[in-house]
Amino acid sequence: MAGREPVTELDARYSSKGASPTPWPAARERLEAAELYWLTTVRPDGRPHVTPLLAVWLDDALHFCTGPAERKAKNLRTNTHCVMTTGCNALREGLDLVAEGNAVNVTDHAALIRLAEAYEAKYGTEWHFDVRDGAFHTEDGGTALVYRVAPATVFGFAKGEYGQTRWRFPDGGR
């Protein structure tokens, strides 16, 4: 699923005078290169749950993994809506990104092999996963479910020359 191209819009209300929208390739590159992301899911009672995690960008989507008993996996069983954010803590420089979408459990063996390779390529051999039974498995016997979040909408917050860009995907994140 290569080449999902979004509609790009600058929100002038939250942007410096004369600001330009951030081009999607620049935002996509940041999503791909980021080391740390924050995942927000919704608990069954409606309260938010936020946690930092690692993720990889592959095939026009963010992918993350988590143990089946962890809060985020439990939340996603009842509500797949989620938000993934990344950026920097600087006030006057950088680009913060907020990707909204639905988390879909990845169980396809070939896709999981590619994702395991992507994790190891990005984060090193300490993030090696074996693939079997539709999940990642660690050397110490742990199991991790893998989720794919194809963004429906991404918001970009450029700092310095402030600019708020929204990218909407015509397929709605499918």
Across residues 21-26, what is the average pLDDT?
96
Q: Is residue 173 part of a domain?
A: no
Q: Is residue 37 part of a domain?
A: yes
Contacts of 94 (CB under 8 A, 6+ apart): 87, 88, 158, 159, 160
CATH number at residue 156: 2.30.110.10
pTM of the model: 0.94
Q: Is residue 97 part of a domain?
A: yes
Question: In which band, very low, low, confident or very high, does the pLDDT at 1 lie, cut at 50, 70 and 90?
Answer: very low
Residue 121's pLDDT is 98
Residue 123's pLDDT is 98
Across residues 14-36, what is the average pLDDT?
94
Q: Is residue 76 part of a domain?
A: yes
Q: Is residue 103 part of a domain?
A: yes
Q: How many domains does the chain have?
A: 1
Domain span at residue 115? 7-168
Across residues 34-57, what is the average pLDDT?
98
Across residues 149-166, what is the average pLDDT?
94
Is the pLDDT confidence value at 70 over 60? Answer: yes
Q: Could you give the CA distance from residue 123 to residue 116 in angstroms, rounded to a whole number?
A: 11
Q: Is residue 70 part of a domain?
A: yes
Query: What single-letter DSSP state applies at residue 172?
Result: T
